[in-house]
Amino acid sequence: MPRTAQRLACVAAAACLLGGCGADQSRRAAAPRTTATAQRPAHALSDPALAHFGLLPRASMPLRVTGSEEIYNRSPCSPRVLLRRLATGLATTPRYTISGGRVQQSVLLFRSPAVAAHAFDALTSPRNQRCIRRHVRIDVATGSGSPVGSVTEQAMNVEPRGQQATAYRLLVPVYAANGDAFVDVLINRIGRSLSSVSAIWTQAPHDIAFQEALVARIASRLAQALA
């Protein structure tokens, strides 16, 4: 992909990073798989501490992390902004650099599974979807100084984990760069927790092996945090 398009993928992330612009949702129940991870401390943790514990550690990313940036999305569509008053605990990883792109995760804790389900619906609502699309187009056009096409969404066949899940890919055509910006969004609710992830690809991803592994490891970590 041309360098201009590579830069634009990161520009798109500024608005869509960890945002819930929900498209096709799957609400099928799925039991999280367990993997070998660090043991949760025996003593009781506060919800903010549990949210930090629930983040997937850097070393557990399915692709090797080669760098990180302390960059956080402030779009009104993002869970950090949209759900901050509803959450009892909230934590976000740095934006990790991986082969071909970047990835970032937020974990939010709520009073109960019912409140978490309400938060999932807000994050993946048509209204939030319109918000994300609007911010993505503005940021990409501003960053490139070039006209961009309409944002489109493609459902991803990632196995759902937890009680509610959605996985989809956003594409933004960039006319001057003759390429697209790609952002994968993965959102899972497990009990009273919510994980929202974005993977921003500077090169077009070829399969969903990374996303599958990422969701499985996140589900295991969240289940451990809530045990």
- Quick: pLDDT tens for 21-52: 333 333 333 333 333 445 665 556 899 999 99
At 92, which helix (H) or strand (E)?
A: strand 89-92
Query: What is the rounded distance in angstroms from the CA atom of residue 35 to the CA atom of residue 52?
Result: 18
5-19, 152-166, 204-218: which has the minimum mean pLDDT? Answer: 5-19
Structural domains counted in the chain: 1
CA distance 80 to 35: 28
- Token code pair at residue 40: 């949760």
| Residue 2, pLDDT above cutoff 60 | no
The runs of H, that is alpha helices, within 71-199 are: 79-82, 113-123, 126-144
By residue range, what is the domain housing residue 147?
3-226
**Per-residue CA distances from 227 to 15, 77, 111 (Å):** 34, 30, 15
Predicted confidence (pLDDT) per residue in 114-157, tens digit: 999 999 999 999 999 888 878 877 776 776 678 888 888 888 99
Share of the chain above pLDDT 70, in %: 78
CA distances from 47 to 43, 53, 107 (A): 13, 10, 11
Asked if 187 and 120 touch (Cβ cutoff 8 Å), the reply is yes
Instruction: Kindly state the tokens that stand for 132.
Output: 């994300």
- Ranking 61-75, 87-101, 183-197 by mean pLDDT, the lowest is 61-75
- Report d(CA 48, CA 50) in Å as an integer: 5
Query: What is this structure's pTM?
Result: 0.79
Q: What is the mean pLDDT of the chain?
A: 80
